[in-house]
Amino acid sequence: MKANCWYGKKHLRVEEVPDPKILNARDAIVRVTSTAICGSDLHLFNGFMPSLEKGDVLGHEFMGEVVEVGAGVKNLSVGDRVVVPFPIACGACNACSRGLWSLCENSNPNAWMAEKLWGHSPAGLFGYSHLLGGYAGGQAEYARVPFADVGPLKVPEGLDDEQVLFLSDIFPTGYMGAEMCDLKGGEVVAVWGAGPVGQFAIASAILLGAERVIAIDRFPYRLDLARERAGATDVINYEEVDVYEALLEMTGGRGPDHCIDAVGLEAHAPGPMYAVDRAKQAMMLETDRPLALRQAIRCCRSGGVISVIGVYGGLIDHFPMGAIVNRSLTVRSGQCHVHRYLKPLLDRIQRGEIDPSFVITHRLPLSDAPRAYQMFSDKQDACEKVVLKA
Amino acid sequence: MQSFHHPPLSRQIGLLGLGFGIGAIAKLTLSRRPGSVSDARHVKVRTTVTIRREPADVYRFWRDLRNLPLFMRHVQGVTESDGHSKWHAVGPGRTRLEWEAEITSDRANEQIAWRSLDGAALPNHGAVEFVPAPDGQGTEVHLELGFEPPLGALGAGIARLFDQVPEIQLKNDLRRLKQILETGEVVHSDASIHRGLHPARPVAPEKLPLLHGLVRA
């Protein structure tokens, strides 16, 4: 089969690899019909995630048709159309039983590596480093899906791929970002980053009752999409105005009630701190650039929630702990517990409350994956979201 | 029952060194090694894991010593008869080790202890305890192994092996036990089925290593 393989920083190749086989009784093999490039895939592309090996198959947003099931899979049949959640979860451990699916205690065969880095290991993920399991990803013609009796969501008749593909990651991830703000109705929420996850965080905050949602980015096409399609009530281009001043001006000096960081470890910002963080990253004094996170903490109304759904991998510097303690801020975060949200969000799609396909700007064949990554990374051609067709 | 093997530890640690100072984090952690005590002649390793099963289930699975090679990667086979067990294992440098052992303590659902009989090339003993976890979360499995490497080259090799990262090996063993008891089998990824580093991608069927069969415990 064809698969999109990692060969180093900014070096991908679509090449022929053997078809996947059932390795565990609870596996299924899925013929991938649609797969997408995630913003977090760019952290792999740009070399910010450790423990990749040359030849790794990337991709964790995918869906397709079941073509084979292991002896332990009773709920799926050959021919079923499924969306696959990006975390791999066994459904039986303590974390899974508490609904913390991205913290599955059994799905990372390389848990010891993650323990060295983070103290404990989270779940294994598709196509996202050896530290997170060493699983082949879904940017391929076929994918092996472990615990297929637990994760995949059967797609009802009448929904096309593009309406449900993003249940695999970015819609639930954005939704969880808004949910962690504990919205009661009437709040002002600010969202850093108007990439695909940010768009879904904005749309979800509106769905969950926020009265105003302010999108922050530097690309006018992304801010336009946020306002016109995701439902942002206000936008801020951080290259044109001072974000802190603008947010205080918009909120009568209070600051946003809650702040969502949908940027993560490769943040940009005008001003000297950006250069300082870039330099520290280059010198390995810190691994992640927390510019959006620092700003979100500074801007957030006292007593508010900082909801972090952008990806961080390691260490950050100059973390404003003083603001958190003295202003009673709450930091919440997590890789999305996708399994928890599949059904409720599918229901919202079926009721017509949201059509997640609004973020798609490019549809390309799988063979164009390397070019598509570069385009997405460079924000060329107003690229917001790329769907690859296998 | 065939088992398959870890990549050499030095390469595993090397893997950690790939990105931004993680190697340093690993070294810092490894240099402390609170779980093991070793002097020239005696190596002790301890580790623990919590399994979401009743102590009786975990005890029963462990007490059938034939199950041990399913999750202990260096143990290739155990047979038991007349109160004595015979162990086949792979030692440093892929040397084959065999010894006989006896159970020295067997408290149902609570504890099992054993030690090798006289004449073992690598005298060793072990004990595993099954302790109910708080709030009905299952069973804490506490495992301790002790080795008395013989003098000479083989002994020095064994001591070196255990001077590296014994807790990681032992913890990985217990993690596989947890996988079997919670999910039914050892969990495999495209990379983890191979010895040594391997890209996360499928391989041709003829290159697929022999994997454990389904175990319903």
Minimal CA separation from A208 to chain B, in Å: 33
Cβ contact B52–A93 (<8 Å): yes
Residue located via tokens 């957030």:
A300
pLDDT at res. A285: 77
Position A159 pLDDT exceeds 50: yes
CB A215 within 8 A of CB A158: no
Two tokens at A24?
């565990």
- Domain ranges (residues) in chain B: 35-187
CB A276 within 8 A of CB A291: no
Position B39 pLDDT exceeds 60: no
By C-alpha distance, the chain A residue nearest B50 is A94
Q: In this structure, how many other beta carbons lie within 10 angstroms of the beta carbon of residue A25?
A: 18
Cβ contact B183–A106 (<8 Å): yes
Across chain B, what does the average pLDDT equal?
79
User: What percentage of chain A reaches a pLDDT higher than 90?
Assistant: 91
Nearest Cα neighbor of A197 from A363, A41, A12 is A41
Interatomic CA distance for residues A73 and A81, integer angstroms = 15
Give contacts of A277 with chain B, Cβ < 8 Å. none
Span of A53-62, A153-162, A260-269, B123-132 with lowest mean pLDDT: A260-269
Give contacts of A116 with chain B, Cβ < 8 Å. 16, 22, 25-26, 29
Q: Which pLDDT band holds residue B168 (cuts at 50, 70, 90)?
A: confident
Interatomic CA distance for residues B139 and A58, integer angstroms = 37
φ, ψ dihedrals at A249, nearest 5°: -60, -40
Enumerate domains of chain A plus CATH numbers: 2-169+336-389 (3.90.180.10), 172-333 (3.40.50.720)
Q: Which pLDDT band holds residue A52 (cuts at 50, 70, 90)?
A: very high
Q: Which pLDDT band holds residue A166 (cuts at 50, 70, 90)?
A: very high
Tell me which of A29, A110, A112 to substitute to probe the interface with B (most B C-beta atoms closer than 10 Å): A112
Q: Which helix (H) or strand (E) holds A196?
A: helix A196-207
Q: Which pLDDT band holds residue B92 (cuts at 50, 70, 90)?
A: low
Give contacts of B20 with chain A, Cβ < 8 Å. 50, 284, 287, 314
Position B33 pLDDT exceeds 80: no
Interatomic CA distance for residues B203 and A19, integer angstroms = 8
For chains A and B, count residue pairs whose Cβ atoms are closer than 8 Å.
149
Q: Which pLDDT band holds residue B214 (cuts at 50, 70, 90)?
A: very low
Q: Which helix (H) or strand (E) holds A202?
A: helix A196-207
pLDDT at res. B5: 37
Interatomic CA distance for residues B155 and A167, integer angstroms = 56
DSSP A135: B
Q: Which pLDDT band holds residue B155 (cuts at 50, 70, 90)?
A: low
Nearest Cα neighbor of A201 from A173, A225, A224 is A173
Give contacts of B12 with chain A, Cβ < 8 Å. 113
Predicted ipTM > 0.90: yes
Q: Which pLDDT band holds residue B1 (cuts at 50, 70, 90)?
A: very low
Q: Which pLDDT band holds residue B16 (cuts at 50, 70, 90)?
A: very low
CB A303 within 8 A of CB A328: yes
Angle, nearest 10°, between helix axes A272-282 and A291-299? 140
Give the CA diameter of chain A.
61
Q: Which helix (H) or strand (E) holds B116?
A: strand B111-116
**pLDDT tens digits, A293-345:** 999 999 999 999 999 999 999 889 999 999 999 999 999 999 999 999 999 99
Cβ contact B20–A287 (<8 Å): yes
Query: Looking at the DSSP assignment, which residues form a beta bridge with residue A87?
Result: A125
Which residue type is seen at A379? Answer: K
3-state secondary structure of A331: strand
Dihedral sign, Cα of residue B83, residue B107, residue B68, residue B95: negative
Q: Is A205 exposed, middle or buried (0-12, 13-18, 19+ CB in 10 A)?
A: buried
Superfamily of domain B35-187: START domain (3.30.530.20)
Measured CA distances, A110 to A124, A328, B16, B71 (Å): 8, 37, 11, 15
Identify which has the larger pLDDT, B11 or B135: B135
pLDDT at res. A214: 98
Minimal CA separation from A263 to chain B, in Å: 20
pLDDT at res. B37: 52
Two tokens at B162?
């255990």
Q: Which pLDDT band holds residue B116 (cuts at 50, 70, 90)?
A: very high
Residue located via tokens 């954005």:
A174
Position B34 pLDDT exceeds 60: no
Residue located via tokens 């790329």:
A386
Starting at the edge strand that comes first in sequence, how are the strands of the sheet with A188-192 ordered?
A: A234-237, A212-217, A188-192, A258-261, A305-308, A330-333
Interatomic CA distance for residues B13 and B197, integer angstroms = 11
- List alpha helices for B39-165, DSSP H: 55-63, 68-71, 153-163
Nearest Cα neighbor of A140 from A41, A44, A45, A35 is A35
Position A243 pLDDT exceeds 50: yes
Query: Looking at the DSSP assignment, which residues form a beta bridge with residue A363?
Result: A387
3-state secondary structure of A6: strand
Interatomic CA distance for residues A43 and A10, integer angstroms = 10
Q: Is A161 exposed, middle or buried (0-12, 13-18, 19+ CB in 10 A)?
A: middle
Cβ contact A130–B15 (<8 Å): yes
